[in-house]
Amino acid sequence: PDHTDRFGSFGNPLLEPETSKSIELGIIFDLSTQSRFQLSLFNNQIDQLIEVNGGFTQMINIDETEIKGVEISYSNRLEKWRYRLDAVFQDAKNKLTNDPLSRRAKSTLNAQVSYHHGLWRVASFVSLISSRDDSSFNDTILAGYGLVDLTASYRFSRQSQLSMRID
């Protein structure tokens, strides 16, 4: 636990430190010199996970939690264009109660496209996050949402560039 977890507004000086065991198995396929596909399976066992309690009044430890899932990624370059698509599908739960862990989306999708021309670069990044459980202490479901950002940059040299970004 950090200082805020122990002594902040929801602080609990009796918090135990988190410990975890993680395993990941992945494979990468270079489909060509320009494109790549990646697949990873993961399992994270976390003991004493630190989260806020149901009344949002104090930080607590959750004895045993597990986050398991799959991550899929595809990237490609085509002349001046670059594309990347990532998806994560996960199941995050309290192993003792089988309740979902708070505020962890079951699926996330990210897409990025960029165009490079000389010293110029224009890019867009989109994220879609699925709905998720607010807390195991209530029945509230937080809605899914999306984020979009647009970036343009000009590189003056290897050491300097000017960028503009809209989120």
pLDDT of residue 138: 77
pTM metric for this prediction? 0.82
The mean predicted confidence, pLDDT, of the chain is 93
With helix as H, strand as E and coil as C, how does the chain read? CCHHHHHCCCCCCCCCCCEEEEEEEEEEEECCCCEEEEEEEEEEEEEEEEEECCCCCCEEEEEEEEEEEEEEEEEEEECCEEEEEEEEEEEEEECCCCCECCCCCCEEEEEEEEEEECCEEEEEEEEEECCEECCCCCCCEECCEEEEEEEEEEECCCCCEEEEEEC
| pLDDT tens figures, 10-59 | 889 999 999 999 999 999 999 999 999 999 999 999 999 998 887 778 88
Residue 102 has pLDDT above 90, yes or no: no
Mean pLDDT of 64-91: 97
Residue 148 has pLDDT above 90, yes or no: yes
